[in-house]
Structure 1
Amino acid sequence: MKKHTTSEAILLLQDGTVFTGKSLGRIGTTGGELCFNTGMTGYQEIFTDPSYYGQLVVTTFSHIGNYGVQSDEVESGKVQINGLVCKEFSHFFSRKRAEGSLQDYFEKAGIVGICEIDTRALVRHIRDKGAMNGIISSETADVAALKQRLAEVPSMAGLELSSHVSTPEVYEMKPEVVKYRVAVLDLGVKRNSLNNLVARGCEVKVFPYDTSFEEMEKWNPDGYFISNGPGDPAATTIAIESVKQILDKNRPMFGICMGHQMLAQANGIATYKMHNGHRGLNHPVKNLITGLSEITSQNHGFVVDSEQLKNHPDVEVTHINLNDNTVEGIRMKSKPAFSVQYHPESSPGPHDSVYLFDDFITLLEQNK
């Protein structure tokens, strides 16, 4: 392994708070919304998750990079985060299967980051003050100049980002034996979601985020899967319209994360930006139908309005978060459609929620 040199780096928060540390990845400057992930493993899956597009990820686990990277542990075709903030960054890795170091991986992807800062203090600050933008630089320590650049970083509220991460063209994946055909509306889909569908006998056809219902319906699918994705769900208006038409035609539908928020929006139920999002592998959720609880993998900064749900005649809550009682799942009473806020495909992560893919298969069978 080649030896890497580091330089001084600075992290400036929107409220003027400054942290100093050492550089990681490429030397440069980058900005975005700061969010923290509490997962102890799976950093490569986090960095390549399209739902993190445009964000600066703060890892609460102290050591990052120690097991390197390998090509089969990605959730998309590239690194999606804008930057990384961590405590200890390892330029060396000890896993035999690893194909390279995280440092080389970031350099190749052009990712700027900062390490050797007090991430516990940073996370407590963001948790108390709320989500905010930040800027990382390893090329200048001029706070005044960085404040000007930080002012240009857009707020996540009102930001449509699925257009930046969705597939530019249609593609398909097939199992050996095809039992069902599932149209996937790609708002920032993770590869393991597709793998879970294919493993259950689904031929999947993945469509760009702005594909009309009529265009997807030409393929004659048995059902629809609405994926996760980044940005403000209320701003993803094209997808909301497609989901409305899927529901109008009584087609089976399963949504996760952004797809969950699309189902709510299509029913006139608002979403709003959280004080702090849910990001990690250890979030407890209760299934109100079975009475069982599950440990879930989550990554979202927006949530469905529970007050509006209470008064909706055709949508009911199926799952709640046991930490803060926010809505984690809904289903329609009169249509074959349901969704969850978390990630049942979590890879790596808990497998408690994988039954949701089986529930979708049951829905496809019942409505075929």
Structure 2
Amino acid sequence: IFHSSCRVLHFFTRSKRLFTASLFTFTTQQTSLRLVWILQNLTEVQKAVEEENCCFGTIDTWLLYKLTKGSVYATDFSNASTTGLFDPYKMCWSGMITSLISIPLSLLPPVRDTSHNFGSVDEEIFGVPIPIVALVADQQSAMFGECCFQTGDVKLTMGTGTFLDINTGNSLQQTTGGFYPLIGWKIGQEVVCLAESNAGDTGTAIKWAQQLDLFTDAAETEKMAKSLEDSEGVCFVPSFSGLQAPLNDPWACASFMGLKPSTSKYHLVRAILESIAFRNKQLYEMMKKEIHIPVRKIRADGGVCKNGFVMQMTSDLINENIDRPADIDMSCLGAASLAGLAVGMCEIYKNESFLANSSLQIAFLLSNYKILESLESLGVH
């Protein structure tokens, strides 16, 4: 009823906000549905809500509350926008959505700028009152750390899962295929928006293969994959938790296909790594098709981006150069940079010469005829 109503209203009003609402769906990754379950099933929480003694927040809010020993209760725009309860068009909690799933607005924290003086750590914890001057969500922090400050800058994070984000400037973008709008960060009057999509089971698939003793260390997989001409037709579907965008099939099962008596663990490992690159290609092609913003640059981070085979195959498949920093922990750098801004650092994030890391390894675009031949044999063009 909610989606149908929003579609009808969008038809008459052409409101982007209503279009976004018509496509909105909760996922199990969001904490909001867990909160709904808690409110429905835990009597002690229900009692606390009635007594106005219950607060909700994501991990940043919890840490802030604990570090200040309960004196500060807040979140920032980047974290709020990931909950599914925030209206990025009005820049406030959505009364419509919270009413729909019976979450009292009184449970939600005040929303502050990403780079902001939130207070100080209680002196009893570390001996000194350390200022807390930034709160930021994981992927948004990585975007900032990668210096994806301009509209059209793209970040590809390959960790436990894959996250593809594009800077959309001050414009919110919602697609039918699976990209959803987020607030990247808010610094003063400047609000930067992102569009994000994700694929699960990236690092998870590699970890699973390691547990099967296909290799001892994940660093071995690049050499194993490169030792073969191809996977000999072996394919892997990385869907331990279903397949996300653009297929959006929660019932998809992980599987190997094309196994033969000659298949070795090397073929299995290569097929797993190839599946990561192909999922990257799917996300990137959906982004190009549905978000009509020219791509300026692509930067990668996350543990899996250390794998040169995955990086190069992704570069070949999407036909783009990809920058890989020497230090891949971009979320840490982004949070540190945002904190620095709040305590008086110059506005380095507006200076294009400031890079996330001065030492960049480049995954150059190469004409890999073997990959192209494999694609053609699968009917992919």
Report which of the two has the higher share of strand.
1
By percentage of residues, which structure has more helix? Answer: 2
